Structure formats: structure tokens, C-alpha cells
Amino acid sequence: MCIYVLLPSGTMNDIQPINETTVSMRHSIRRTAALLLAFIACFSFPLSAMALEGEYIAIRKEGAGRIALVLGKPLAEGGKASAWSAELDREIREGLAFTGIFNMIPPPMNLFETGASGKRTLNFGALNSIGAEIFAGGSLSAEAGQVKLSMAVYETFGAKPILSKVYTGRPDNLRAIAHAFSADLVQLLTGRRSVFGSSIVFVSNRSGFKEIYSCAFDGSSLSQLTRSRSISLTPSLSPDGTRLAYTDYSSGRPGLKIMNMADRRVSSVRQSGVSIDPGWRSNAEVATTLSFEGDQDIYLVRPDGTLARRVTSSRGIDLSPSFSPDGTKMAFVSARFGNPQVFILDLGTGQTRRLTYNGNYNTQPSWSPAGDKIAYTTMEKNGEINIFTIRPDGSGATQLTSGARENESPSWSPCGDMIVFTSGRQGQKKLYVMNANGENQRRLLQMEGEQMQPSWSFIR
Amino acid sequence: MKKSVYGFLALALMFTAGCSSKNAVAPSGADEASAPAPAEAPAPVSSVASGPSGYGFDEYQTGPLGDVFYEFDSSELAADAQAQLQQNATWMGSNAAASTMIEGHCDERGTSEYNLALGERRAATAKEYIVRLGIPSSRIETVSYGEEKPFATGHDEAAWSKNRRAHFILK
């Protein structure tokens, strides 16, 4: 697991400095070689360091601010490897910055120090003095056409190693290597699943028809999933990411479709008639609004299209199911008292209670993966639509967007750190992401036409 | 202008009364304003045109059946809407081979999932009203387009009021 393979003999002229800011190292080949040796020393601990994860999370205060991280560019030898290293460094930086949970600090000038024995080691004193909490660095080599990235992570206070792991992959897919490391780092530091490896499905009218597309968490890897040339709406991925439920008009009316994501085969759930806005309760059940019995109520449907049971029975519209992580409770929209409000149904007791009381138009509930919050949208008197979060007990309503036209369709990242949503703040509806507290709002992807109704899910 | 249509309206309502005589159930949500009225006492509904112009007929409706319009976030049938539906039922009654598709539409405000459900209710209330006037349910289909297919493209009440409708298409 250690990286003794890294240092072949030969010229060191192409070795890059740790980071552009470590200018003093740029001209010293010998010092660079020493750095590599230092890294070898650093990395000489087994993968079982992963077991320290729980301990680390325990000492990190809940709700603490951003994690102060120093990221060293992977050391590499040779032009090709150096180019890979630069790209990996960029991908890791962009990925970690995207999560919004890091404060990325440039490495200090004296990142390494020489001990009494002449051995160079990481200068944890320097790292601590610039406020770093975590240092991550490593080295890169090529082996049999594969790129091998060896990474080590330290808690700087106490110079404690908390992760050492080797990642290998193809040179034409360095992003996958970068995201694999980034996923481990975020999970190590937060104890939660990260956005890396997750996908967002959404609707776009780019082709002239509303079709469903997917992209990676950061807006890359755009893919068109449906080509029905009718109207496809409200995509929702099953928790395991293997199935996509959505509504489309290819039969002439809005109907429930379920796509197998592996082969993209689509099955129609036709026996239930008109269907609106599906939401998964588990991998085995999807809820949707059906009206074949006259009123618009929410039913649980199995992926094979058979009805499991009806779960609401109020007079009037019941819509937009979103379940608590354990599947025992369902947030939904009901117009049972006239205008749309969010309610919570306890599937065990059958009891329903109203969640939202502010305003006359509250829709689009989305239950967070941790279960502690529900995001929803409010249409304000001035026509703006804004995103709020509220605790399931109805307390702590917090407004996340304001003064930016329509902000709709909130959907949580698998880790619960972020929310993807639709906004018309720049005219056309586009996808945006923000931190769960509303900070750091920015466009997700550049794409023609309008994009809307994003749904974020984990796919491996 | 409004008064000029009362004559036709009264006739239409008389015919409607004939149609609905087979149906003991009163139109849902109907009040005295929409109840069949004797010819000598025009019904106090506000305005329904005698032909393909006026309340239910605009540049977006070319068939013999007029559209009906709704308030924001509502599927309730106002007096004008009920009068138009009575006129549509009259036409359906005298054209027994005809069947219609009622599309429920919404304006762009609000959220699209809810508008899909609201459009379904709008089409359903329009259908229910006509069925209660005696037109067989089998001759009327419904579909909701929510806010997906707006008629007027503006972003003000002038456009929105045209988009909140049950749109009748002759099949």
C-alpha cells in the first residue's frame, strides 16, 4: 500500500514543485528528490488508517465551519505524469470546491522541513500556523498503462495520519480517479456519502420537446435519457439509482413510466391511468398521484406497475410525495383546505398533519437524506417563488432564496450538504446548486434551452 | 351588449333543461344563476355569445364548443363558465355523433406539478358539469396540460387569464 514504486532513477528535471506557491523549491532538484523521500516516509502506514474515520468525525464539532484543507499537488516524474498530476490536482480541487464544505488554503512555503537526521518531513507546525486542519497530498506514477495515484491525508493538529490509499485508473479518465479520492476524503471527514458519483436527472426543452436528461453532480457527463418527442416531466431516480420514474405524454395523457437505467428500457404503468409526479419510497415502491378513482390521491406503485395501495383519501388534490429516509413518513402537497400546503402523513398510524402555514401556495416538498429537514417552495404575493427549509415538526422555517424570480424544485444531494434547484433569475429556467443553508448559489451546467425539475440521486 | 345575448341564452337554457330532464342530478356547484330559467325571465348570467365569438371564443378556439375560464388556483365554475358549458351541452345534445376532448390548462404561475393536477381538475369539473346536463360521459374525454401548452405567451394577467381554461376540441 505504500508508494515505494514511485521513485525510479533518472532525471528529476521534470518533477514539478508541490504547488506553484512553493516557488523556492522550483529550482532545487535535490530538494525535490528529498520531498519525494519525505512523502514515502509519510505514506508508510497501512490502509487500516481508514479505521480512524469514526474517531476523526467524533472530534470534529457538529456544525463547525468549513474544513480548512491544504491540498498538495501529487508529485510526479516525467512530462506525461506531470501533466496527469496537474489535471488530477485540478479535478480534485474543483470537485472539493464544489462541495462547499472546504476552505482551500494554499500550501505554506515551508510545507516540508528537515529533521535532525536530515530527513525531510511534512512541516505540521507550518500547516498549523496557517490554520490548516487537514493536509492531503500524494504522488503519481504510471504502471502498465494505468495511472496510479497514492494519496495520504493527515489531521495537521497532532500530525495524525487518517487516510492512505492508492487509486488506479485509465489516463483518459483521470476525473474518475480524482472523484474516487474526493469521495473518500469527504466521507472520511463528514461521515456522510459525498456528491461524487451522484447524478442529477432533469427536464430540458433543448430539442424542442421536454425530454429527460442526466448529468454528473457537477454538471458534467450530460446524457439524454428520453426521446419520446412528447412531454416528459418530473423525473425521479430510485434510491439505488437503478430505476427512473417519470411522467410522459406519449400515450396522449400524462402517464407513469419507469426506465431501467442499466439498459434504458422503458415500461409503461398504464393500468392506473393518469399519473402525476412520482417519488420513490424505497427501491421497491414509488408513490404517485393517480385519479382513476375520481379524486386525485397518492398511491404506492410497485416498479412492475402493480398497485400496492392508496395512501391518501382527502377530497381535492394530493400531490408530490417525498419520503423520510426510513420510508415511514411522507411529505406531500394537498389542497384539501383550498390552496396548496405541505402535509406529512405517518404511514404507520395513518395520521396526517399540516406542515406549512405561511402563505397560500406551498408546494414541492423534498425530504433531506438525514431526515432532519424538508425543503419546499413558497409562491409569494409578488409572484416570486422561493425555496425554504423547515424541520419535520414545523419549526425552524428558513428562507434560502430571495429576490431572484422563480426558484423551484429543490432536491437534496445524497449527502444532504447541497440542494439543486431551478431558477429563472437570469431569464430562462436553468439549474442551480447551493449549500443546504442557501449559501454559494451558482449555475450547475451550461446547456441550451431551459432546464427544470432536477432530482439528485446516488448512482454507482 | 351583454343584454343582447339573453335571448339566445334563454333558448339555450330551455334546450338545456330539456336535455337534463333525463338527469335528476343538478349541475355540480350550480346556483340559481345557472339554473334553467323561463324564457320571459332571462337568467342573470352575465354573458355568453350566441356564436363563435364572445366569452368562450377567442383566437384560440375555432370549433363550435366554447372554452371556459377560471380564476387563479381554482377549478370552480363561475357563472360565465357555467353558461358556456350549458351552451356547449346544448350543442352536444343536438349533435349526437360528436365527441369532445376537454384540455385543462393553467397559467405559468405557481409550480408545474401542481398546475398539472389543477388542469386535470379544471377539465374534470367542466366534463362533470356537461355530463350532469345529460351528455353521455363516453362522449367526453379529458386531459391536463397544466402550464405546458400556454395559449397566450405574455407574462401578465392579460395572458394568464387566457391560459387558465378548459379548452374544447371536437374529435
pLDDT of residue A56: 53
Q: What CATH number is associated with residue A64?
A: 3.40.50.10070
How far is it, in rounded angstroms, from Cα B11 to Cα B16?
A: 8
ipTM of the complex: 0.80
User: Looking at residues A199-218, what average pLDDT do you find?
Assistant: 96
Work out the percent of chain B whose per-residue pLDDT is above 70.
69
The answer to whether residue A156 is domain-embedded is yes
Average pLDDT over residues A258-274: 84
CA distances from B32 to B42, B118, B137 (A): 12, 26, 24
Instruction: Write out pLDDT tens, residues A155-204.
Output: 999 899 999 999 999 999 899 999 999 999 998 998 888 889 899 999 99
Quickly state the pLDDT bin for A375 (edges 50, 70, 90): very high
Contact criterion met (CB below 8 Å) for A178 and A92 = yes
SS3 B113: helix
Residue A343 has pLDDT above 80, yes or no: yes
Residue A302 at interface with chain B, using a CB cutoff of 8 Å: no
Which of the two residues, A81 and B21, has the higher pLDDT score?
A81
Summarised one tens digit per residue, pLDDT across range A377-400 is 999 999 899 999 999 999 999 999
Q: Find cell 469514526 and name the residue.
A: A54
Q: Say whether residue A384 is in contact with chain B using an 8 A CB cutoff.
A: no
Assigned C-alpha cell, B103 = 384540455
Mean pLDDT of chain A: 86
Residues A162 and A203 in one domain: no
What residues of A are in contact with residue B116 (Cβ under 8 Å)? 233, 247, 254, 276-277
Q: For the packed helices A174-190 and A79-99, what is the interaxial angle rounded to 10 degrees?
A: 40
Q: Is the pLDDT of residue A132 over 90?
A: yes
pLDDT given for residue A145 in this prediction: 87
The Cα–Cα gap between A98 and B60 comes to 47
Number of separate domains in chain A: 2
Contact A291 B120 (CB under 8 A): yes
CA distance A253 to chain B (A): 6
- pLDDT class of B33 with cuts at 50, 70, 90: very low
Alpha carbon of residue A247 to chain centroid: 24
More confident residue, B88 or A28: B88
Which residue shows C-alpha cell 434560502? A400
Distance from CA of B120 to the nearest CA of A (A): 9
Bridge partners, residue A343, by sequence: A332, A354
Residue A205 lies in a domain: yes
User: Contact B129/B85 with Cβ under 8 angstroms?
Assistant: yes
Three-class DSSP category at A79:
helix
Q: Within this chain, do residues A164 and A224 fall inside the same structural domain, yes or no?
A: no
- Asked if residue A425 and residue A339 are part of one domain, the reply reads yes
Examine the domain organization and report whether A169 and A315 are in the same domain: no
For residue B128, list chain A residues with Cβ-Cβ distance below 8 A: none
pLDDT above 70 for A133: yes
Q: Is residue A1 part of a domain?
A: no
Nearest-angstrom CA–CA distance, A344 and A334 = 10
Measured in angstroms, the CA of B116 and the nearest CA of chain A are apart by 7
C-alpha cell at A337: 383546505
Identify all chain A residues contacting B110, using CB atoms and an 8 Å cutoff: 361, 363, 379, 385
- Domain of A126 in residue numbering reads as 23-190
d(CA A199, CA A237): 9
Question: Three-class SS of residue B4?
Answer: helix
Which has the closest alpha carbon to A57: A186, A241, A164? A186
Question: Cβ separation of B117 and A252 shorter than 8 Å?
Answer: no
More confident residue, A111 or A235: A235
Residues A183, A295, single domain; the answer is no
Tell me, what amino acid is at A228?
A: S
Q: Does B72 touch chain A (CB under 8 A)?
A: no
Among A168, A190, A212, give the residue marking a domain's end: A190
Q: Nearest CB to B144: which of A254, A335, A339? A: A254
Residue with more model confidence, B17 or A89: A89
B110 with A379: CB under 8 angstroms? yes
Which of A190, A221, A241 marks a domain boundary? A190
What are the grid coordinates assigned to A233, written together? 416531466
Average pLDDT over residues B116-122: 97
Chain B residues with CB-CB distance to A356 below 8 A: none
When the pLDDT of each residue in chain B is averaged and rounded to a whole number, the result is 79
User: Residue A272 has what pLDDT?
Assistant: 60
Question: Is 60 exceeded by the pLDDT of residue B42?
Answer: no
CB within 8 Å: B113 and A320: yes
In a shared domain, residues A77 and A124 = yes
B3-170 has CATH 3.30.1330.60 classification: yes
Those residues whose C-beta lies under 8 Å from the C-beta of residue A247, and which sit 6 or more positions away, are A232, A233, A234, A254, A255, A256, A257, A275, A276, A277, A278, A288, B116
Q: Which residue has the higher pLDDT, A111 or B77?
A: B77
Asked if A364 and B144 come within 8 Å (Cβ–Cβ), the reply is no
Residues of chain B positioned with their CB less than 8 A from the CB of A231: 145, 148
Q: Kindly give the pairing relationship between strand A398-399 and strand A407-412.
A: unpaired
Please give the sequence-ordered ranges of beta strands (E in DSSP) within B47-148, or none if there are none.
68-69, 100-105, 140-146
Determine the residue type at A320.
S
Burial group, residue A377, by CB count within 10 angstroms (0-12, 13-18, 19+): buried
Domain termination residue (choose one: A167, A190, A213): A190
Determine, yes or no, domain membership for A2.
no
In this prediction, residue A199 carries a pLDDT of 92
Are residues A215 and A357 both part of a single domain?
Answer: yes
**The most confident of A75-79, A238-242, A340-344, by mean pLDDT:** A340-344
Which residues numbered 89-118 in B keep a CB inside 8 Å of some CB on A? Answer: 109-114, 116-118
Query: Does A399 reside within a domain?
Result: yes
Interior CA angle at A400 toward A396 and A406, to 5°? Answer: 130
> DSSP characters for A126-181?
HHHHTT-SEEEEEEEEEETTEEEEEEEEEETTTTEEEEEEEEEE-GGGHHHHHHHH
The reply to whether A218 touches chain B by the CB within 8 Å rule is: no
Distance CA A396, CA A414 (A): 22
If asked whether residues A145 and A224 sit together in one domain, one would say no
Q: Is A14 part of any domain?
A: no
With beta carbons less than 8 A apart as the criterion, state whether A267 and A257 touch: yes
Q: Which of the four pLDDT bands, split at 50, 70 and 90, describes residue B53?
A: low
Residue A223 counted as domain residue? yes
DSSP conformation class of B19:
H
- Residues A162 and A252 grouped into a single domain: no
For residue A9, pLDDT over 60 is answered with no
CATH number at residue A238: 2.120.10.30
What is the average pLDDT across B11-38? Answer: 40
Asked if B171 reaches chain A (Cβ–Cβ under 8 Å), the answer is no
Tell me, yes or no, whether A161 lies in a domain. Answer: yes
Please write the tens of the pLDDT for every residue from A40-79: 444 444 333 344 444 555 445 444 578 999 999 999 988 8
Residue A16 pLDDT: 30
Q: Which residue has the higher pLDDT, A36 or A293?
A: A293
Q: What are the domain boundaries of chain B?
A: 3-170
Indicate whether A143 pLDDT > 50: yes
> Residue A214 above 90 pLDDT?
yes
Tell me, yes or no, whether A29 and A110 share the same domain: yes
A266 and A387 inside one domain: yes
Query: pLDDT tens, B75-95?
Result: 999 999 999 999 999 999 999
**Domain check: are A359 and A233 in the same one?**
yes
Question: Taking the model in full, what pTM does it have?
Answer: 0.79
